[in-house]
């Protein structure tokens, strides 16, 4: 029987009544409601009023291959028809996830040869935490239960992952972080007095990580988590060599190094994996988003031979008690294989060319009175607004102000992420044309001009 609910006049009203959007500015922005998209093709999305916009954020940094790719749609349809589901639990499986695991292992840095599939990034991060704990238990070191991550980092929304995340709204009201979840300062360069000397920034972070490890006790630290470029913290790019230096400290102390590539993998920064640019091999890596390019959900944990061997050996005759009903989902895997073929069939190359164009175009906005910083790599970028360029004064941080910026961009036919600290985030699909990249930059300038006139 249906509950009697009064008829809503619009989708927006139905949404307001029934669909939960935890991160929203509705409460301070009652008049607007949700914007509804109805279709998309390439890098263009169309809203319910028929307006076309360039998606400068690839959904939520995920539609790397672009919308409406027929070969992906066909691969998913074929798989649904032939075999929509086979569990990856126990000793069962299907062809597509086996082939995708092998394809990822072939391409991943170093000996990251073993793949555990998840449904997205948060459960990939959460799975690494379970694997890391299991790894240390299996080696008779259960006291290694302390975790270190980086301020401004984002590692998903599971309880443990949100604890590693270092963005205040993910902690406040949730009793986070958990005990044993430590942070070191971010490598953010923009307001860093050492920024002119990248080696000094690296040295300071190394010293802080060493001090943190010493305070906790090296024999108690299980793992260090880091994004090659921090995404949700506002696209913060570490100086070259920073990641490698952190990796070396971890290796020295036998601490597992986990690279969270949920945003950065699959061409977002240029190569298939951003760790390739850093010249490092992590012990574990998380990916999601571009893995299936948003067509269906999927994430993955990649682990090294050494980690896998310990987990497998440590289990002995026992099963490792971890798994999801939809792990290694055949339809997601079929999409993953096809998306990978598209990346390697030209999208990575186009993404690299368009990434250079995007970075150069956005750098051109540095002459604008409201722009304090432009940063990024490849098809991942940010423009930071300030009220005073010389003093680098941040705009007052608020979700409502961000919504206003987002709306202004929308009105110019551009979808971008507007972070509460007055930062525009960019992560366009890798299929963008030069004209689309130029339009992203031009429309941003228009938004900045309007904001200068009417803050
Ligand atoms: N890690 C990183 C670095 C992320 O950016 C995200 C999502 N933005 C996640 C983990 C969580 O992924 P998901 O939203 O797919 O659960």
| Cα–Cα distance list, 316 to 138, 312, 325, 352 (Å) | 10, 7, 23, 45
Q: What's the pLDDT tens digit per position in 313-323?
A: 776 667 788 99
What is the Cα Rg of the chain in Å? 22
pLDDT of residue 8: 65
Residues 6+ apart with CB under 8 A from 15: 21, 33, 34, 36
Q: Which residues of 5-20 are buried (b: 16+ CB within 10 A; e: fewer)?
A: eeeeeeeeeebbeeee
Q: Which pLDDT value is given to residue 31? A: 59
Q: What is the pLDDT of residue 26?
A: 56
- Select 86-328's CATH number: 3.40.640.10, 1.10.390.10, 3.40.630.10, 2.40.160.20: 3.40.640.10
Averages of pLDDT over each 10 residues, the chain, 455 residues? 68 86 66 86 96 98 98 98 93 95 98 98 98 95 98 98 96 96 96 95 98 98 98 97 98 98 98 97 98 98 96 76 95 98 98 98 98 98 96 86 91 96 96 98 98 90
Can you tell me which atom of ligand 1 is nearest the CA of 264? 3
- Domains of the chain, by residue range, sit at 35-68+344-453, 86-328
Protein residue whose Cα sits closest to atom 1 of ligand 1 = 155
The best mutation among 61, 154, 425 to test binding of ligand 1, ranked by most ligand atoms within 8 Å of the C-beta, falls on 154
Tell me the average pLDDT of the chain: 94
HSE, side-chain direction, 13 A CA sphere, residue 301: 25
Q: What confidence score (pLDDT) does residue 30 get? A: 56
Query: What atom in ligand 1 is closest to the CA of residue 227?
Result: 3
**Closest ligand 1 atom to 288 CA:** 15
* Distance between CA atoms of residues 413 and 406, nearest Å: 11
Ligand 1 center–CA 181 separation, angstroms: 18
Distance of alpha carbon 114 from the chain centroid: 21
The residues with which 149 forms a beta bridge, in sequence order, are 183
Please give the Cα distance from 32 to 411 (Å, whole number).
Answer: 13
DSSP character string of 393-451: EEPPP-HHHHHHHHHHHHHTTEE-EEETTTEEEE---TT--HHHHHHHHHHHHHHHHHH
- Fold held by 35-68+344-453: 3.90.1150
pLDDT the model gives residue 315: 67
pLDDT at 71: 98
Instruction: Provide the β-strand partners of residue 286.
Output: 260, 301
Ligand 1 pocket check: which of 149, 243, 262, 294 to mutate, most ligand atoms within 8 Å of Cβ?
262
**How remote is the C-alpha of 383 from its chain's centroid?**
18
Contact 65, 72 (CB under 8 A): yes
Q: Any residues with CB less than 8 A from the CB of 367 and at least 6 apart, and which?
A: none
Q: Which residues line ligand 1 (CB under 6 A)?
A: 120-122, 125, 154-156, 227, 231-232, 260, 262-263, 288, 299
ipTM: 0.99
At residue 417, what are phi and psi to the nearest 5 degrees? -85, 135
pLDDT in tens, 139-171: 999 999 999 999 999 999 999 999 999 999 999
Strand partners, 40: 45
The pLDDT of residue 397 is 79
Buried b (16+ CB within 10 A) or exposed e, 334-370: bbbbbbbebbeeebbebbbebbebbbebbbebeebeb
CA within 13 Å, CB half, 145? 7
């Amino acid at each position: 029987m249906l509950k009697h609910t009064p008829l809503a006049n619009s989708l927006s009203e139905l949404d307001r009544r029934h669909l939960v959007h935890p991160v929203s500015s509705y409460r301070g922005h009652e008049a607007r409601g949700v914007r509804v998209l109805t279709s998309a093709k390439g890098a263009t999305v169309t809203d319910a009023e028929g307006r076309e916009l360039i998606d400068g954020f690839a959904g939520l940094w995920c539609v790397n291959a672009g919308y409406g790719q027929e070969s992906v749609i066909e691969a998913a349809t074929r798989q649904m028809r032939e075999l929509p589901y086979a569990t990856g639990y126990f000793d069962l499986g299907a062809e597509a996830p086996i082939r995708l695991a092998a394809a990822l292992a072939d391409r991943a840095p170093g000996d990251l040869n073993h793949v555990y599939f998840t449904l997205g990034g948060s459960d990939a991060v959460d799975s690494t935490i379970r694997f890391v704990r299991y790894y240390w238990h299996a080696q008779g070191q259960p006291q290694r239960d302390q975790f270190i991550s980086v301020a401004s980092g984002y590692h998903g929304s599971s309880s443990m992952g949100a604890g590693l995340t270092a963005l205040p709204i993910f902690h406040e009201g949730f009793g986070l972080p958990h005990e044993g979840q430590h942070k070191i300062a971010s490598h953010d360069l923009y307001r860093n007095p050492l920024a002119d000397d990248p080696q000094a920034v690296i040295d300071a972070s190394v010293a802080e990580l060493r001090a943190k490890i010493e305070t906790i006790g090296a024999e108690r630290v299980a793992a260090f988590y880091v994004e090659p470029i921090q995404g949700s913290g506002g696209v913060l790019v570490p100086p070259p060599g920073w990641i490698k230096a952190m990796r070396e400290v971890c290796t020295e102390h036998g601490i597992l190094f986990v690279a969270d590539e949920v945003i950065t993998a699959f061409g977002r920064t240029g190569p298939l994996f951003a760790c390739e640019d850093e010249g490092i091999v992590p012990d574990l890596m998380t990916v999601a988003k571009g893995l299936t390019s948003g067509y269906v959900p999927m994430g993955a944990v990649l682990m090294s031979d050494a980690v896998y061997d310990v987990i497998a050996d440590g289990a002995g005759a026992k099963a490792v008690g971890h798994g999801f009903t939809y792990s290694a989902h055949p339809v997601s895997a079929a999409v993953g294989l096809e998306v990978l073929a598209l990346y390697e069939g030209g999208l990575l190359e186009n993404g690299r060319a368009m990434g250079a164009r995007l970075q150069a175009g956005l750098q051109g906005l540095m002459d604008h009175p409201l722009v304090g910083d432009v940063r990024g790599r490849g098809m991942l970028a940010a423009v930071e607004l300030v009220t005073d360029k010389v003093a680098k004064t941040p705009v007052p941080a608020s979700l409502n102000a961000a919504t206003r910026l987002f709306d202004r961009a929308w009105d110019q036919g551009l979808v971008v992420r507007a972070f509460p600290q007055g930062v525009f985030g960019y992560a366009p699909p890798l299929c963008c044309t030069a004209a689309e990249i130029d339009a992203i930059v031009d429309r941003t300038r228009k938004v900045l001009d309007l904001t200068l006139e009417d803050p």
